[in-house]
Amino acid sequence: MSNTQHLTIGSPKPVFPDDGILKLYSMRFCPYAHRVHLVLDAKKIPYHAIYINLRDKPEWFSLVSSSTKVPALELVKEQGNPVLIESLIICDYLDEKYPEVPLYPKDLLKKAQEKILIERFGQFINAFYYLLLHDNPEQLVDTDHYAGLVVYEEELKRRCTKFFGGDSPGMLDYMMWPWCERFDSLKYTFEQKFELSPERFPTLIKWRDLMIQDRAVKCFYLDGQTHAKYMNSRRSGQADYNMLYNEAKRVKLG
């Protein structure tokens, strides 16, 4: 397991060799940062991951990126070490800059249609996080949290391909994945009634099983129980950023 210690107030700025390798400022449980990890891993682009405690950010972080948001990608080879923010802008940049494993269709219309589906997924994200972070999810048992997924179920069925990208995952697959990886956490937090219905989403459930086998997805994968544990800490107001780091340390010491 890589070092997922989250740097915080007082943490010194990590020093890296002058190796020209991209630096990704991230948070281990941030689904937006997860998107960038997926694209970097899918394209086999080497990068240094630097994890930031988002509650108590290290003092030097605002000098790296004035927005102090993650994900933030530092382009160390470019003059002035510019930093890109916004997950979709970073991912689109990477796709154009490293075209060897193209993630969008070549056809401009199809590319625009993928972007519309990525944009529209944002509506589902809002509904899903409303459920994940709700104080009393029992109140939401009659709400259809998955209504926003129906269009993706139908679209993938219509395409008759393993992934939205065809035989391998494309940009739409990777931009949706971080939230879909977290579906499996619901059974640990809430009762089964919040789970994805196999009758309603047979194609997406098959897709999820295939995505878990993907090399890039495996690189940053966490199981449902781990995601549930982090979300519980976040809901309690004490997001446990260093959960994995402390566990790994315990295992090492024990």
From residue 60, how far is each of 3, 86, 163 by CA, in Å?
Answer: 20, 20, 41
Are 28 and 22 in contact by the 8 Å Cβ rule? The answer is no
Is residue 30 part of the annotated active site? The answer reads yes
Which residues make beta-bridge pairs with 72? 25, 85
Q: Write down the least CB distance from residue 224 to a copy of itself, Å.
A: 32
Q: Which of 11, 21, 68, 86 binds a copy of itself (CB under 8 A)?
A: 86
Query: Is residue 112 part of the contact set for a copy of itself (CB under 8 A)?
Result: yes
Query: Is residue 78 part of the contact set for a copy of itself (CB under 8 A)?
Result: yes
From residue 65, how far is each of 3, 23, 62, 70, 79 by CA, in Å?
Answer: 22, 12, 5, 9, 15
Query: Is residue 56 part of the contact set for a copy of itself (CB under 8 A)?
Result: no
From residue 141, how far is each of 5, 124, 137, 144 by CA, in Å?
Answer: 36, 17, 7, 8
Q: Which residue has the tokens 């098959």?
A: 206
Q: Which of 13, 55, 97, 157 binds a copy of itself (CB under 8 A)?
A: 97
Which stretch, 19-27, 34-42, 110-118, 205-213, contacts a copy of itself (CB under 8 A)?
Answer: 110-118
Give the pair of three-digit tokens for residue 82. 């510019």
Query: Is residue 22 part of the contact set for a copy of itself (CB under 8 A)?
Result: no
Which stretch, 3-11, 29-37, 84-92, 142-150, contacts a copy of itself (CB under 8 A)?
Answer: 84-92
Which residues make beta-bridge pairs with 85? 72
Q: Which of 108, 160, 251, 253 binds a copy of itself (CB under 8 A)?
A: 108
Query: Is residue 109 part of the contact set for a copy of itself (CB under 8 A)?
Result: yes
Q: What angle do CA 230, 201, 181 make, to 5 degrees?
A: 20
Of the listed 30, 91, 180, 219, which one is catalytic?
Answer: 30
Q: Kindly tell me which of 115 and 187 has the beta carbon lying closer to a copy of itself.
A: 115
Q: Which residues bind a copy of itself (CB under 8 A)?
A: 75, 78, 82, 84-86, 89-90, 92-93, 96-97, 108-109, 111-113, 115-116, 119
Instruction: Please list the active-site residues.
Output: 30
